[in-house]
Chain A
């Protein structure tokens, strides 16, 4: 029966579409970058060697202060609630609070900041630079000029150097306050400070050192992590569609009663269908894991951990597939409608967008979609491996519970215990019952 269910899924249009999406996503988002990720850097590369994040207060404090001051002057703050760009304009009282924070950071009186802001509003002496361009702070750190923001010609205006006696912890606390005033998910959020204001360009030596560290720490693990990060996004979402299709197919084909009166138990029927669904999605994931392993071999040779894409496929991606399929199954069995797509789709969307500022490492708080969108940040992976394991085990356990409930509900409905009747009056003498 398992093979028959697999064949049924394999030949279905939803499965073919899902497999195609996963393959396209794999190639366009992950596979095209494998070569660059695994090839040794070359000296004098005109394209540069990328950036690295340095949690260095001497870099972050002046750059973040500069950025906050710019946004304050323009009263145009950039935030990403649920991952979406938002231009925040603050009220006068909130602006006054930001001025106070800037004052605490720089030692310049609050009134001076407010006066500068007022003057800025009334003057037109601004130098517009293209939004989205990189800007370099005086100390060499890089930050991005947010969209719709103008850089102000501040020559001869306020000295916004960070107070020498301000500790980094105090600074972070003040920035956190600013983030809260802005409404959260701004550049000044504690977790975002380093990634926004501590980015430094790598030179060849650093790039080479990182490459050697990658090989030493296990390129297989690093690539598999990235593979799981990318593929996990859609491999978690798509099975819910397949589960809804699989459960509704009997009714759509008017085969419900033929199946329900068969000897097979509901436990076996639902269990085997669920297993077939998970296995068939995993088949696509395994094929892509195989391609990843082959690529690692062709670039790096027979290094340790070539099998890692398969381990990560099971340990990282499969729990996402399981929860998607099980939620799809239980809600469809329960309601007889495709409501699961909306429910799970919303959960998936919120989980994805709420993690957008932590895509380089976030497995915590039982997030539905763990993120690690870099072959680096190995330290985070090592330190949080337990959190990742707990996260994935939680979803496996939850999936099993949901499938067991699906079996119970299916049996109850199969025996008409949750029967919903609509009395349809046909004529004065004929009353027909419909399920």
Chain B
């Protein structure tokens, strides 16, 4: 059994009658793995199944060879950073980590060794005696990573970690994730394409519980080759273009707009083909699933 792989086969998950994940088959290997999709695509549900917070209806899921039903063992090897979280606000940063370390089964010596290192790693050492309630959003996210890494897990699951962060914090956070991904599987779930572009080589795209794409970022971009165009149109025509084409960007330039659009065939307006980026490729992929609509 591969110790650095997550294997998901035919996974189904329902909320009542609504199917949140539909026959999902996916293999995730060591390094950064990006999970892209709109809100409600099933990303958080998948992560919660992996983190033992939700039970699956059918299919098999194993993390480093351990079936996800074996919750105790899974919890030993995964670190989880939920989308929305906090810690006891009256506790000091160091104290909160120590408490969670105890819940992770670490003895005093292990906690004493791990906590200062992690605080150093996430650049929170100066804040170690501060109350949790006094941390900024970015600091809180970094503390979240520290708690998830506390027991040195083989798998780190992070759900929408950069939401609400300013650009500087976002870049710092991405770099931190890349650093920790050198020695473990890191699953990054997000609907912010820029986060994936900057950090992940392998990605999966989910939509309404279905797997739309699984592969490298480069391959995803290649799928959109020759489908992306740039058109410069008068400002008053921009709305018309938006109705007829899938527009991924509009930048006003004086009395004109430079529009970035996706089209299966050469557009009827004056447009030149351009190199697609990850965002274009992602939008193209979603539109393919919707029969070209978006």
| Residues of chain A whose beta carbon lies under 8 Å from any beta carbon of chain B | 1, 4, 8, 11, 249, 253-255, 257-265, 269, 414-417, 419, 421, 423, 426, 429-433
B104 at the interface (CB under 8 A from A): yes
| Selected contact of B151 from candidates A263, A414, A432, CB within 8 Å | A263
CB–CB B39/A263 < 8 A: no
Interface contact B84-A254, CB-CB below 8 Å = yes
CB-CB contacts of B35-60 with A at 8 A, as 1s and 0s? 00011100011001001111100000
> Are the CB atoms of B15 and A263 closer together than 8 Å?
no
Q: Would you call the interface of chain A mostly helix, strand, loop, or mixed?
A: loop
Residues facing A in B82-98 (CB within 8 A) are 82, 84-90, 98
Given contacts A263-B104, A263-B151, A264-B104, A430 and B53 within 8 Å (CB-CB): no
Answer yes or no: B75 CB below 8 A from chain A CBs: yes
Could you tell me the distance between the alpha carbons of A425 and B98 in the complex, rounded to whole angstroms?
39
**Does the CB pair B100–A430 fall under 8 Å?**
no
A257-B80 contact given A430-B38, A433-B44, CB 8 Å threshold: yes
B85 to chain A, nearest CB (A): 5
A-B pairs with lowest CB-CB distance, top 8: A416-B54, A421-B15, A262-B103, A431-B40, A254-B86, A261-B80, A257-B82, A263-B105
Q: How far, in angstroms, from A101 to B89 measured CA to CA in the complex?
A: 69
Q: Complex Cα distance A262/B102, Å?
A: 9
Residues of A within 8 Å of B52, CB to CB, are 260-261, 414-415
Q: Given A255-B85, A263-B72, A263-B151, verify A414-B45 contact (CB < 8 Å).
A: no
User: Which chain A positions have C-beta within 8 A of B98?
Assistant: 4
A379 to chain B, nearest CB (A): 52
Q: Is the CB of A416 within 8 A of B80?
A: no
Asked whether B256 is an interface residue with its Cβ less than 8 Å from the other chain, the reply is no
User: Within 8 Å CB of B38, what residues of A?
Assistant: 429-430
Contact B103 A1 (CB under 8 A): yes
**Contact at B53–A255, with CB atoms within 8 Å?**
no
* B88 partner residues in chain A, CB cutoff 8 A: 8, 249, 253, 255
Alpha-carbon gap, A264 to B101, bound state (A): 10
Q: List 30 A-B contacts (CB under 8 A).
A: A1-B102, A253-B88, A254-B85, A254-B86, A255-B87, A257-B51, A257-B80, A259-B100, A261-B79, A262-B104, A262-B105, A263-B72, A263-B76, A263-B103, A264-B105, A269-B103, A414-B52, A414-B53, A415-B53, A415-B54, A415-B55, A419-B15, A421-B16, A421-B18, A426-B39, A431-B39, A432-B40, A433-B15, A433-B18, A433-B20
Q: Find B18's partner among A257, A258, A414, A423 (CB 8 Å cutoff).
A: A423
The interface bits of chain B over 254-282 (1 if a CB of A lies within 8 angstroms of the residue's CB, else 0) are 00000000000000000000000000000
